[in-house]
Chains A and B, each alone.
Chain A
Amino acid sequence: MSSATFRVWRGDGGEGALVDYEVEVNEGEVVLDVLHRLQATQAPDLAVRWNCKAGKCGSCSMEINGRPRLSCMTRMSVFAPGEVVTVTPMRTFPVLRDLVCDVSRNYAKAREIPSFTPDPALGPGEMRMRQEDVARPQEFRKCIECFLCNNVCHVTRDHEENKEHFSGPRYLMRVAELETHPADTADRRMIAQDEFGLGYCNITKCCTEVCPENIRITDNALIPLKERVADRRYDPLVWLGERIGLRPGLRRDTPIVPNTRRTPR
C-alpha cells in the first residue's frame, strides 16, 4: 500500500478545475480503482462512467496524464513513484460532469451509415462465408466503442467546426467493415468521401495509437477505404472504363440514410 496524488478535473458545463487528492493505492490496481476509492472516501459525487471494469465495454474512457485511455486498463504501476496522475475528461466531447462526457454525437453518426444489406434472396442458415473473408471485418468488429479514436483525432479535436462532416475513425471504420463484409451488397464509397469525411483523414495514426483493442484502424480500415474510394472516383482508368462500358453497374452508389442528419426534435 502506498499513496498517490491524483489531479482530477471537476466541473460541469465546460467550466471546472483540476482538484488535487491524496489517495491510497494498492498493488495491482488500475486508475479506475483509485477513482472508486476517491468516491468511497473523499468525493462521493465524483462522476465517472464505467461498467465492466475489464476492458470489454468501452465506458471508462478519459485522459490520463494527457493520453486518451481506458481507466480500467491503466495500471498504477505505469507511473513513476511520486508521479502526479492527472485525470481529465475526453477533450473532444462536451462534458456532462467531472470525468463524464456527452458522447451522443457518435451515436448520431452511426445512424447515418447505410446498414448491412444482404442479398434479399438469402434465407436463414443459407449464408456461406469463408473465414479468410470474415477475418477482415471481424477485426473491426472487435471495436468496443470507447470513442477514444474519435476523441484523439485532431480533425475534430482541434477543429470543432469539422464535426458536422467528419464521422471520425470509429465510423469510417464501420464503413470499411461493411464494405469488406463478404455478404453485403451496398456501395458506400461515394458517401464515405462526401458525407462521412474520409478526405479529412490525414492518416496520422493517432486513432491506431490509442485503440485499446489494438485494432489497426489506419492500416487496415482507413487506408484500404481510401484506396476503394480512389477506385470509385479518383482513378482515371476506372473512370474511363466505366465511360466506355467496360465495367457496367459500378454506378450503384448507396446514398446516405435520409432524415438522419440533424434529428428533428
Chain B
Amino acid sequence: MTATTSPAPGSRRARIAARTLRTDRWWTGPLLTALGLAAFVVYATARVFQQDHYWVAEHHYLTPFYSPCVSASCEPGSAVFGTLPWEFPWFLPYALVSLPFLLLFRFTCYYYRKAYYRSVWQAPTACAVREPHRSYSGETRLPLLGQNLHRYFFYAAVLISLLNTYDAAVSFAHGAEGGFGIGLGNLVLLANVVLLWCYTLSCHSCRHVMGGRLRSFGGRPVRYWLWTRVSRLNTRHMLFAWTTLATLTLTDLYVLLLSSGTIADPRLFN
C-alpha cells in the first residue's frame, strides 16, 4: 500500500470460517429482547381484541389500550370524546384512532428498531457475529424507508399522551363518595402516564425538533435549554422504552382485574 487510498493489489480479508470468535454469551441479549417483545405483543393483542374489562365506571379508570374509546359499543362514560356512530366488529380495536399511531411510534422508534433488527430480524444478532442474510439494503427502500416518518408518529404520540394524561386526571375526580379521591388505581394510572411522557419526550425525533436540528444555538437560549433537557432524557430512551411496556401492561392488567371484579381498588383517600 504505497498511497493512502489505493488498496494493495490482490489482498483479501482474512478467511476465518467461524461465524464469530466471541467467547461471551452474546446470544442472551437478543434472546431476552425477543422474549420481552413477544410477551408484550401477545398480551396486548389479546387485550385489544377482548373488547371487555377496560373500564372501571366507579372511578373512571380507563386502560390506555382503550383510550380514546370510539366504538358505539363503548361502555357509557368511557368514551370521553364521544363515539363514532357504529359498533365495531370483533376485529376492530375500540381505540382505533390511537392504537395504530402508538404502534407505529414504537415501531419506528430508534431504540425499538435496534431491538427488533437485532433480536427478530438478526441483522445483526450481536456485534461481530455474522448475520444469516444473503443481502442487505437496510432502510434504503420501502417499506423500511418509512422509518423516516418517525417524527409524525412522535407528534401523534404527544397528542395521545395528552389524552392519557386527561384520562388519569379525570379519574381523580371520581372518588368513592364522589368528588376528589385517590385510590391505588389513580397512582397506577399516574405513574404510567408520567413514564409515558418520559418515553415520548426522550424520543430522538423530539430531541431533533427541540433544537438538534439547529446548526447554532446562538441567540436561542430556550431551544438550547430544551435540547439539553431532552438530550439528558434521551440517554435513557431504552430504559423508558422497556419500563413503559411494563407499566402499560401492569396498568391494563390492574384495570382488567378491577373491572372484572377480581380485586377491589384500595382507596387511600375517598
Interface residues in chain A, defined as those with a beta carbon under 8 Å from any beta carbon in chain B:
9, 11, 13-16, 63, 65-68, 83, 86, 88-89, 91-96, 102, 104-105, 107-108, 111, 129-130, 132-133, 152, 154-155, 157-162, 179-182, 184, 197, 199-206, 209-210, 219, 223-224, 226-231, 234-235, 263, 265
Contact = CB atoms under 8 A, between A and B. Distances in A.
B3 A104 contact: yes
B15 A15 contact: yes
A202 B139 CA distance: 7
B117 to A, nearest CB: 5
A174 to B, nearest CB: 15
A224 to B, nearest CB: 5
A133 B21 contact: no
Contacts, number: 176
A199 B130 CA distance: 20
Contacts of A111: 5
Interface residues of B, number: 55
- Identify the 3 closest CB pairs spanning chains A and B, nearest first: A14-B12, A66-B21, A66-B22
Contact of A228 (B5, B136, B213): B213
Interface string B1-39: 101111110111111100011111000000000000000
Nearest to B135: A159
A130 B217 contact: yes
15 contacts: A9-B16, A14-B14, A15-B15, A65-B22, A67-B128, A95-B14, A104-B4, A107-B5, A133-B218, A182-B215, A197-B140, A209-B127, A210-B127, A227-B205, A227-B212
Contact of A96 (B1, B135, B136): B1
Q: Is the interface of A mostly helix, strand, loop or mixed?
A: mixed
Contact of B16 (A91, A155, A184): A91
Nearest to A7: B21
A9 B24 CA distance: 20
A265 to B, nearest CB: 7
B140 A93 contact: no
A91 B13 contact: yes
B110 A63 contact: no
B16 A88 contact: yes
